[in-house]
Amino acid sequence: MYATSGLPGFDYIIGDDEVIRPGEEPFFTEKVFRLPASYLTFQVDYPVPPVVPPPCLGNAYLTFGSLVSQYKITPPVLDAWANILKRAEGTRLWLANTALRSIHNRRYVADQFTHRGVESDSITLCGPADHVTFLKYYNRIDVALDAFPYNGGTTTKEAIWQGVPVLTFDGDRWASRTSQSLLRRTHLDEFVAEDVQGMVDLAIRLARSPDTPQQLADLRRHMRLYLQASSACDTAALARSLEQFYTEVLSIRPNGQCPVTG
């Protein structure tokens, strides 16, 4: 759930202070409970490929990419990504998702970029693959680009896990803040822009800076460790916070007042 249900049958909604900001309680029919850390906690207990150096070390250009679901790639997202590719000359874009299995969908996406003034040879489109192979797509990507207003969730976590930073911005709703919740908990605040134009400008600065390849290489060696050490991977702490919350909810006073204030 990325917003209020609007239904009286739900008493609480659980988030964190990144996705539900102070003062946004009036927009929820539920009582708001904020976890002390990211609500997007996960644990990697499945096969994953090793982290490799960023491709820009061997290329003369930066490769942006996104593995989000196709339905998240809205016209404003295409506008922003095309703007980056046109202004950061020589950059490439790597996209992969299930919908791109279809040649018709691949043609549609390619046509959308052509319509926006981006040459088709700047875009690589890939369909689905087994999970390990899919994660290896990140070996071809230097910097991931987030979608909006519906951010990546699993794709953001797995990009960071594979050493690829994700460019996002401070959105105006829960679904537009999930990536920054993860990035800030992983101390990657520098990849969170103020707005969509800020995200575009940041991508262009990275593409133009001669220091970017080495900076990304240094960061890539440590990002998985940053994520593992963050609250985003502390499933035990999440369980303790939820247990405490559930216990307090079950001890509601007779007059209907709940001791939890979130």
Phi-psi region of 170 (alpha: psi -120 to 50; beta: other; left: phi over 0): beta
Same domain for 20 and 97?
no
Give 191's DSSP letter. G
CATH number of the domain where residue 192 is located:
3.40.50.2000
Same domain for 102 and 186?
yes
Asked if 137 and 161 touch (Cβ cutoff 8 Å), the reply is: no
Give 19's DSSP letter. T
19-33 in b/e burial notation, b at 16+ Cβ within 10 A? bbeeeeeeebebebb
Structural domain includes residue 247: yes
Structural domain includes residue 253: yes
Q: Given this model, what pLDDT does residue 34 score? A: 95
Q: Given this model, what pLDDT does residue 38 score? A: 85
Same domain for 30 and 134?
no
Q: How far apart are CA 169 and CA 154, in angstroms?
A: 17
Q: How far apart are CA 145 and CA 122, in angstroms?
A: 15
Structural domain includes residue 45: no
Structural domain includes residue 42: no
Structural domain includes residue 48: no
- Residue-range definition of the domain harbouring residue 8: 1-37+234-262
Same domain for 208 and 147?
yes
Residue 86 Cα distances to 93, 116, 170, 256, angstroms: 11, 9, 24, 58
Same domain for 136 and 188?
yes
Same domain for 164 and 260?
no
Same domain for 132 and 69?
yes
| Spatial CA neighbour of 41 closest among 178, 150, 144 | 178
220-232 in b/e burial notation, b at 16+ Cβ within 10 A? beebbebbeebbb
Structural domain includes residue 155: yes
Asked if 95 and 124 touch (Cβ cutoff 8 Å), the reply is: yes
Contacts of 115 (CB under 8 A, 6+ apart): none
Structural domain includes residue 46: no
Q: Tokens 């700047």 identify what position?
A: 122
Q: How far apart are CA 243 and CA 232, in angstroms?
A: 17
Same domain for 83 and 172?
yes
Sheet of 123-126: strand order equals: 123-126, 92-96, 63-66, 143-145, 166-169, 192-193
Same domain for 169 and 262?
no
How many structural domains compose the chain?
A: 2
Same domain for 252 and 149?
no
Q: Is there a cis peptide before residue 254, judged by omega within 30 degrees of 0?
A: no
pLDDT digits (tens), the chain, 262 positions: 689 999 988 999 999 999 999 999 999 999 999 999 888 898 999 999 999 999 999 999 999 999 999 999 999 999 999 999 999 999 999 999 999 999 999 999 999 999 999 999 999 999 999 999 999 999 999 999 999 999 999 999 999 999 999 999 999 999 999 999 999 999 999 999 999 999 999 999 999 999 999 999 999 999 999 999 999 999 999 999 999 999 988 887 555 555 544 4
Same domain for 87 and 196?
yes
pTM more than 0.85: yes
Pairing of strands 192-193, 166-169: parallel
Structural domain includes residue 47: no
Same domain for 31 and 155?
no
Residue type, 86: K
User: DSSP states of 24-42 as a string?
Assistant: -GGG-SSEEEEESS-S---
Q: Given this model, what pLDDT does residue 254 score? A: 52
